[in-house]
Structure 1
């Protein structure tokens, strides 16, 4: 966190009137009183000038500045955006709300623009939802000295100026007429401006829809409203059942051992830095020595956890994506649980994002294991702590466990692995990536991938010791990560424009011989799918197929194991 220190300031010089009395003097006393409408216009101008250069850069890219039409377009969209955002301020501000509302808006906008500029963030509803679900630990890693300076210049100082301004007092009737005149004027200016360059503007909005999420502060305000409306509509509403018909297939009756399946949901690990995919750094030395199937061409459903996790556990997937429907319906875990297999979600991050609602969920990120945890976080090996006890509690002996990693969640990559995994050097030992070279950032990230390799190998070796169970493990990351390619860092870009670094993920499968035999899955056949394009859309149906759980929601075409059954 950052704090601003104040120090005593000498008293201001005073002017001594001839009558001997003292009168204080302030520079702000000379500022003229302003009407709320004028303040709204000034604020909108401030936002257009200081907070929207990413939007203007995207909207004006590749234009020929030797043509007058390019200059006209630039001027017109500046005027249109300023007028459009002032309309919202005309509606929201009055003499009593103007100062507190603008203060909050200035502070939040300053924070938003810092991360937009630093990491190329688009504030669509997915990103806003992701931010709202971010816990205190994650948020604290994003603070830095540069952030404090940015907040001071673009948030605190403008807010102080707002509080120093004197607002005009206008009779209600006159104030109402003035407000209506300003609103009508702003609407006319917005509409007239757009009509001047309508062809260019419509082409921009049609071909680059995502740029609207760069118009600040309208972007996050609009997206926040959408998220709040959606969450309010779903609040206290039970999940729509999809599991009622789920049941174990007849093959379960012939099995001699209970089943233990571990699904590892990774975090922010990209395929480009996965050693088994041919990456220059060997980041998967332990998995490479094990009998695993590495799916080299896997893709995610989203570019952030809030999208990918609910999506991969749903029947909809990316191919039929519907955020509202996905969040409203039960997930794969409910189907498995209803069929008679106990499910358990073990978390070292920020929860199951609704996919385990009503099922057992354990949060291990605050565990007191001194060997794996400090005062802030736990290493991912904490997810295996106490597993023996959980296996014993499983009904009918069968257990499906999800281990949700912290893994490579950025930007504090250096905190995601123990000292023994600091193999690739030099490293970036700060969350402020601007202080590090590209090589240092990549090395640090790769050390995190190396630790995920170690964690997965340890999980497999643990499953090998469970000889009284038929065991298997599937690992896939929720999404990838940008490490500076094209000037982009972290993740969360709209899927339609996200670079492959954010959508291509590692995916690995391991099965014991007992599991393969009992469930009739050919390991050799599955191995032949290693170079076949797969995605998180396959998860729901492949798990049901491999576990021989029958449901009307099962789609054989999306089951990777369908062609490999004995």
Structure 2
């Protein structure tokens, strides 16, 4: 019945609106913003094949810079051409009709208005008999186009307004953090946030290609094969990693500070190093809480166009601070990882899987795309290895936590999905790599925590564990630390992992719009989804 409403409501709405004036050309020009939404929707269908324009899609418009946008536009030009062919002539005809005063007869307009109102009322009544399988309900403002798009646009504007007020709303927040244990040696902790890295292409997670030649041989490394993200969009997933917010309590993100502030309160010097483009999201707000900030993609300004840098360019900066700063240190590294265009994420010397020259997303060059993507994972492996080596060389008490923000689609099945941030996630966007590395000195200083980490390696985990695990690893205590979410704690609990929906509501990840292809992969990969563990 919901599918019937998807047809009857917009049809009734349009004939009603177009009949309000005898000059339909003028009405059509007045409704041009609606054409813009239609165009956006067609591009979305081209990208993902389903779903309405999401709240996150609107926010992506204002958190994506020219460089990222140009990479995407190169691959959606067919959709752009279709949009132009549909709507430019429509607008031109409307302008001509308006100028020539082409009028509709009054009797016809009256019939159309009555018919439109009738269809709208009938559609509203039918919503009470329909159901959305993902949300277990069906409403006009959330499930029926174009009402849901307009609602999402308003929701996005409200979220943007709240986030802009974050510096003030979080000003007086404190974690009341303190450090309980003080080893004799300096302590250094690193939280690395990867980009668009899916676990299925990591050799450490069973991938047939050797994409992790260094990490797979690194002593002290514990890899968690059953890990998922709580969001498939960067502007939400990264803040969830860097804060106590989760899918279950997302609203606290508007009033609480980040993990950087907690470490600072505990006496650490904090650093935020980034190879990501500033996007005016919570990630940028959190970065300002660090004692030292460095972004290698910009000169400190808000540039619309930035230059490409490999993640390895962060390494000399890390070494500089390791050598020059005394006392305990806490680093957050926000890398560019495997963000499309994959070919630009690694030096030529890492072109191991060939050919890898594909810059266009198409089924015909799927293997080239996969080769380039795998090469980007290979480079990530090298980068993380070098970072661990730098920490190891200090001979201090050091540890590192790595998590990707989300995964990526690579034309994996008959749906031909690619990239990420789709309104409905896929298995490939959810399943991510997470690992912890501990130096020998750390394991000696914190044997119980090291043992707990090893014991928890087979347990299902999500990105909401990052905040609590890293604080617990450093023996930092705060009322906001939840031991049952810390992988460094024997109190860690197995629970149903939640996904943050487009309207910021928690939903069991297995019910987040996953299709049979996704659920089949979840079964094959033994991803925990509610059955007895």
Q: Normalised by the size of structure 1, how large is the TM-score? A: 0.74
**Residue 77 of structure 1, CA deviation:** 3.6
1:400 paired residue number = 330
Q: Which of 361, 368, 374 matches 1:440?
A: 368
* Equivalent residue number for residue 387 of structure 1: 318
Separation (CA, whole Å) in 2 of partners of 1:198 and 1:111: 25
Q: Which residue of 2 aligns with 1:376?
A: 307
CA contact (8 A) 2:211 2:378 kept: yes
State the Cα distance separating 1:296 from its structure 2 match: 0.9
SS at match of 1:141: helix
Q: Is the 8 A contact 1:234 1:328 kept in 2?
A: no
> Given the alignment of the two structures, is residue 341 of structure 1 paired with residue 272 of structure 2, yes or no?
no
Taking structure 1 as reference, are residues 168 and 502 closer, same or farther at Cα in structure 2, changes over 3 Å only? same
Is residue 409 of structure 1 aligned with residue 339 of structure 2?
A: yes
Task: Indicate the residue corresponding to 1:161 in structure 2.
Answer: 93
How far does residue 392 in structure 1 lie from its aligned partner after superposition? Answer: 5.2
State the distance in 2 between where 1:93 and 1:141 align: 44
Shift of the alpha carbon at 1:491?
Answer: 1.5
1:486-512: per-residue Cα shift (whole Å, max 9, x none)? 332221234xx5222111100111111
Q: For the residues of structure 2 that align with 1:516 and 1:384, how far apart are their CA atoms?
A: 24
User: What is the rounded CA distance, in whole Å, between the counterparts of 1:85 and 1:229 in structure 2?
Assistant: 27
* Inter-CA distance 420–92: structure 2 relative to 1 (3 Å threshold): farther
2-side partners of 1:429 and 1:221: how far apart?
37
> Does 1:549 pair with 2:481?
no
Q: CA RMSD in A?
A: 3.8
- 8 A contact 1:303–1:498 mirrored in 2: yes
Structure 2 counterpart SS, 1:562: coil
Q: 1:346 to 1:213 in 2, by over 3 A?
A: farther
Matched, 1:248 2:175: no
Is the aligned partner of 1:450 residue 2:382?
no
**Aligned residue in 1 for 2:229:** 300
**Aligned partners of 1:339 and 1:92: how far apart in 2?**
67
Separation in 2, partners of 1:457, 1:408: 16
Tell me by how many angstroms 1:520 deviates: 4.2
Contact 1:80 1:193 in 2 (8 A): yes
Per mean C-alpha deviation after superposition, the further-off stretch among 283-292 and 485-494 is 485-494
Find the aligned partners of 1:337 and 1:482 in 2 and give their Cα distance. Answer: 37
Q: CA 1:285/1:205 → structure 2, altered by over 3 Å: closer, same or farther?
A: closer
Tell me the distance in 1 between the aligned counterparts of 2:276 and 2:392.
26
3-state DSSP class of the match of 1:510? Answer: strand
Aligned residue for 2:528?
none
Write the distance in 2 (CA, Å) between the matches of 1:153 and 1:118.
Answer: 18
2:490 alignment partner in structure 1: 563
For residues 209-288 of structure 1, what are the structure 2 equivalents within 5 Å? 218-237=147-166, 238-240=168-170, 241-249=172-180, 251-252=181-182, 255-288=183-216
CA gap of 1:525–1:215, structure 2 versus 1, over 3 A, is same
8 Å CA contact 2:296–2:314 kept in 1: the answer is yes
Partner of 1:509: 436
1:361 matched to 2:293? The reply is: yes
| C-alpha spacing 1:219/1:509, structure 2 compared with 1 (3 Å) | same
Q: Which of 464, 486, 498 is the matching residue for 1:537?
A: 464
Specify which of 81, 99, 122 is matched with residue 192 of structure 1.
122
Return 5+ residue gaps in structure 1 as ranges: 1-55, 61-72, 369-373
Determine whether 1:116 maps to 2:48.
no
Matches within 5 A, 1:464-479: 464-467=392-395, 469-479=396-406
- Taking a change above 3 Å as real, the CA distance of residues 113 and 293 of structure 1, as seen in their structure-2 partners, is same
Could you tell me how far apart the structure 2 residues matched to 1:91 and 1:262 are? 62
* Alpha-carbon separation, structure 2, partners of 1:456 and 1:217: 46
From the superposition, tell whether residues 204 and 512 of structure 1 become closer, same or farther in structure 2 (CA, over 3 Å): closer
Alignment correspondent of 1:133:
63
Secondary structure of the structure 2 residue equivalent to 1:544:
helix
For residues 39 and 96 of structure 2, the distance between their equivalents in structure 1, rounded to whole angstroms, comes to: 19
User: Which of 290, 293, 317 is the aligned partner of 2:246?
Assistant: 317
Give the number of the structure whose alpha-carbon radius of gyration is greater: 1
Question: How many residues are aligned here?
Answer: 474
Tell me if structure 1 keeps the 8 A contact 2:229–2:431.
yes
Answer yes or no: is the 8 Å Cα contact 1:260–1:471 preserved in 2: yes
Separation in 2, partners of 1:227, 1:511? 41
Q: Report how far residue 541 of structure 1 moved.
A: 1.3
Deviations 1:452-491 (A, max 9, x none): 1111111111212223x32221111001111123332221
Q: 1:107 to 1:190 in 2, by over 3 A?
A: closer
Q: What is the Cα deviation at residue 217 of structure 1? A: 5.2
Q: Is the 8 A contact 2:275 2:336 kept in 1?
A: yes
Please say if residues 306 and 353 of structure 1, whose CA atoms lie closer than 8 Å, have aligned partners that are also in contact: no
Alignment check: 8 A CA contact 1:364 1:383 kept: yes
Map Cα deviations across residues 310-366 of structure 1 (whole Å, 9 max, x no partner): 122232323x143x3323321222222222212221111134253334434322114
Contact 1:120 1:489 in 2 (8 A): no
1:193–1:551 Cα change, 3 Å: closer
**TM-aligned CA distance change 1:80 to 1:378, over 3 Å:** same
